[in-house]
Structure 1
Amino acid sequence: MGLNEVLSEIDNGLEDAMTRLFDLLKIRSISTDPAYKAETRDAAEWMVKELQSLGFEAELRPTPGHPMVVAHHRGEGPRLLFYGHYDVQPVDPLELWTTPPFEPQIEDTPKGRVIRGRGASDDKGQLMTFIEACRAYKAVNGTLPGNLTIFLEGEEESGSPSLIPFMKENAEELTCDLALICDTSMVAPGVPSIAGSLRGMLKDEFTLHGPRIDLHSGHYGGPALNPLREISKLVASLHDDQGRVAVEGFYEGVHEVPQEQIEAWKTCGFDEEEYLSSVGMSEPHGEAGYSALVQQWARPTLEINGLWGGYQGAGSKTVIPAEAHCKITCRLVGDMDPAHVRKVLRKHIEDRLPTDARITWDNDLDGAPAAVMNTDRPEFEAARLALSDEWDREAVITGMGGSIPIAYYFKSILGMDAMLIGFANDDDAIHSPNEKYDVKSFHKGIRSWARILDRIAK
């Protein structure tokens, strides 16, 4: 049977597909909270049963944390691995939700029908687009497409502590010709996108110590070193007036984007004004001389994520605090080495410490390089054409400002290229109250994967 029959099966079965998605969304698989350990396992078991019902050899694989789901269909053609995650973010603050987060429902909005609920977009709705495409393919053809491995994680939203050891221990089983990752979005509504690169990530945190104890600001105000004042100087020294990171050696491994790539990105449907105004800004505030899109996709950053110290309760307390704290993340591009960035960042801070101050660093924080895909592979063009056919618009190869470490791990541990295709929108409120996933994204996402598999799984 042909592709058209599979697409018709998807259209006719959409309501049943949404019912199955709702069943999964009702499971409170919050991986970071031990109180939901049993329910997180329930979500994994739910996925195993669904995959087994489709003919996959599927099973739960234990880890020190939440289990992995691994499933195989042995068929003809290239070996493809599909990755997603069944865990979700916490729902706090609960009072900001307009509907119960684990009671999914359909809502009509000015922009169309949406599925409202925690995990609807990140990542249960996304991963189910692939599963439902497989379901429709089997319903029409009597078998699953190609040679598939499904790999679903239960700790993506809590730092993936079990992921790297599991991948190393099962490298032979998991290594395929190409990885497919759904945990991503479209560059603009209705613009199908394939990520060609993702920024890497480095996390760091330090405490600046001053006096032995908090001091009375009348007795010691003036003579005492104030850690909050000193840490503000250190933070201010990290960037120059043009928004460029002022840490010596920070830009080692950064490459300028070719002009032809910038010209291609201009046609991708990105609206800079809307992108900025939607969050209350009127202009980019990063490196001068770069558009918001280039700043987001192709330039590194050093961001202050948290800065605190001293008394923070109600009213006033006249103290000079004994210490102050700072959380930092850096987004990495090109060939930037996280270990090198950490080294030069720490040197920059330590070289500027005043007398009587000392610093301690959190050495348990991680980092991963940027992931740059080999978009010259024929599968990328095949997928681009398949997406263009489904969405009646040219699909685009984009960058991504976020970090999806699994793409780097597939390359560094398993030697696999990854192709990232997802159907989320920027207004899906992932990680926030009132998360949603457009019904159109779910429906056309299923159809898109059917078209992609029809082109590359044979």
Structure 2
Amino acid sequence: MLDAVLTRIDAGFPASLDRLLDLLRIPSISTDPAYRAECRRAAEWLVGELAAIGFDAAVRDTPGHPMVVAHWTKAGPDAPHVLFYAHYDVQPVDPVDLWTSPPFEPVVAEGPNGRERITARGASDDKGQLMTFVEACRAYVETTGGLPINVTILSEGEEESGSPSLVPFLEANKAELARDVALVCDTGMWDEDTPAVTTMLRGLVGEEVTITCADQDLHSGMYGGAAPNPIHVLARILAGLHDDAGRVTLDGFYDGVPELDPAVRANWDGLGFDGAAFLGAVGLSAPAGETDRTVLEKLWSRPTAEVNGITGGYTGNGFKTVLPSKASAKVSFRLVGDQDPDAIRASFRAYVEAALPPAAKVSFEPHGGSPGIRLSVDNPALAASLGALSDEWGRPTAITGSGGSIPVVGYFKDILGMDSVMAGFALDDDRIHSPNEKYDVRSYHKGIRSWARILAALAR
């Protein structure tokens, strides 16, 4: 049966590509209210395609952009039931003048590596990824009359604008959406020939800290040397966040940080990752961070403290001799394992307050917090997916981590009580969120075939 489905995918691929291009033409920019109607149009387009396959599909309204929910329950009550998640909304396209073609007029053309690519906003993040699964389902239905397992599809329209409606929607629809496992297609390949399943995601805590000294800006000639400078205070505090070995100095920061599983470490060691080349590609000659850790460990399995921006005093053109009243910094912490976001925030605030000189005051503004995610490598659905991907790509599937965050995976665990399998087909050079975003035609084609194999493996 699987061979017939794969043959159908190959024969029908030109039509599959045309359908993706149709979806890419819809400018579903979720963060801009001017595109609200286009987001709904994208949701309705997707519902139409899923209904045509045979799904029970509907647009579900939220206070923001709608969700798409679709069910296939014809495989029988004893068959596995998965929840597939992706998003149909996209990032804004600015700056438009850097695009080589209009961002919502997709172009299929040969790239520098000689392979065909689709250039359009959303091609890789996440419409191309979404459609790999939809087209795999279509091939099954057209070939065999149905899917080998039961499938629920959830596609949201606010992922690129913070998913404000997602948690309330999941909480209100637990019984409908909680399944055996979630399949998340918002990740990428290890390289253009090696598939990957992501098992670690770092969490995130954001804090904005403002130091205030004088009640007004001061003339640096009249007050310099006598009045405390909040920029000096802030700089000393930020510099003290790390010791000479690159470790974060906050009390309790490493509570809940696990050592890497030996099997995962062996998989990573076999990936052939070149840390020096990775950093050299962006003009860096030496790594930062913990001196006793590899670059890949630092990116995927170790926590961080980073300063993302500093403001204070006069920053315009020319020169102004002023002692500012205030100085601010935006600080983020990437979390792993069982680190507690609330505890990390409290420890940072206590550290700052303890470091203040008598003449300084501090205020804080939180900017979100979510824990890291670790998925068990013993999950049967994960094992099935690893084998299916290896069969399609002809290489062992890499078990990878991610330095970033995909909050929906945590929501699925905490709210719906289910683990996720994160498999995607994006490449590092897909320029997601940037001008000239692209998706390789090969990624799209083999992504469809990959999902067909995964569905078959999960059925077994």
Q: TM-score range by the shorter chain?
A: over 0.9
Confirm whether residue 457 of structure 1 aligns to residue 456 of structure 2: no
User: Identity of counterpart residues, as a percentage?
Assistant: 54
Provide the residue aligned with 2:191 in structure 1. Answer: 188
> What is the match of residue 43 of structure 2?
44
How many angstroms apart in 2 are the aligned matches of 1:233 and 1:283? 24
Moved more, 444-453 or 190-199: 190-199
- Whether 1:91 aligns to 2:90 is no
Structure 2 equivalent of residue 403 of structure 1: 405
Displacement of 1:127 after TM fit? 0.9
Q: Give the alignment of 1:55-66 within 5 angstroms.
A: 55-66=54-65
Matches within 5 A, 1:143-292: 143-292=146-295
C-alpha RMSD over aligned residues: 1.5
Q: Distance in 1 between matches of 2:49 and 2:161?
A: 24
Using the TM superposition, give the Cα deviation of residue 260 of structure 1 relative to its aligned residue in structure 2, in angstroms.
4.1
Correspondence for 1:439? 441
Contact kept in structure 2, 1:202 and 1:368, CA below 8 Å: yes
For the Cα contact (< 8 Å) 1:80–1:457, is it kept in 2?
no
AA of the residue aligned to 1:28: P
Tell me the secondary structure at the aligned position of residue 109 of structure 2. strand
1:302, 1:51 → 2: CA distance?
A: 43
Task: Report the equivalent of 1:109.
Answer: 111
Looking at structure 2, the residues matched to 146 and 258 of structure 1 have their Cα atoms a distance apart, in angstroms, of 32
CA distance in structure 1 between the aligned counterparts of 2:93 and 2:152, rounded to whole angstroms: 31
Q: TM-score scaled to structure 1, two decimals? A: 0.96
Question: How many angstroms does 1:13 deviate by?
Answer: 1.7
Q: What is the CA-CA distance between 1:347 and the residue it aligns to? A: 0.9
Secondary structure of residue in 2 paired with 1:398: strand
Residue 273 to residue 113, structure 1, CA distance change in 2 (3 Å): farther
- Decide which of 381, 384, 399 is 1:382's aligned counterpart: 384
Render the CA deviation track for 1:92-116: whole Å, top value 9, x for unaligned.
2223222222221123222222111
* Residue equivalent to 2:302: 299
Alignment correspondent of 2:19: 20
Secondary structure class of the residue paired with 1:302: strand
CA distance, structure 2, for counterparts of residue 114 and residue 105 of structure 1: 8
Contact 1:428-1:437 within 8 A present in 2 as well: yes
Q: Give, in angstroms, the shift of residue 265 of structure 1.
A: 1.0
| Greater than 3 Å deviation, 4+ residue runs | none
What SS is found at the alignment partner of 2:123?
A: coil
TM-score where L is the length of structure 2: 0.96
CA distance in 2, matches of 1:176, 1:260: 28
For the 8 Å contact 2:23–2:42, the answer to whether it is kept is yes
Query: Per-residue CA shift, 1:39-93, capped at 9, x if unaligned?
Result: 1222111111111111111111111111111111112311100000111112222
Cα displacement string for residues 198-239 of structure 1 (whole angstroms, at most 9, x for unaligned residues)? 111111112222221222223322222222222111111111
SS in 2 for 1:16: helix
Give ranges in structure 2 of 5+ residues lacking alignment: none
CA distance in 1, matches of 2:268, 2:321: 53
1:115 and 1:276 map into 2 onto residues whose CA distance is 28
CA deviations on 1:225-283 (whole Å, 9 max, x unpaired) are: 22222211111111112221111211110011144432221113433333222222233
Residue matched to 2:370: 368
| Contact 2:86–2:154, Cα closer than 8 Å, also in 1 | yes
Most deviating of 49-58 and 97-106 = 97-106
Question: Quick one: which amino acid aligns to residue 84 of structure 2?
Answer: F
Partners of 2:286 and 2:439 in 1: CA distance: 28
- Other-structure match for 1:322: 325
Unaligned runs of 5+ in 1: none
Q: CA deviation at 1:336?
A: 0.6
Is 1:120 the equivalent of 2:119?
A: no
Number of equivalent positions: 456
> SS state of the match for residue 218, structure 1?
helix
Q: CA deviation at 1:381?
A: 1.6
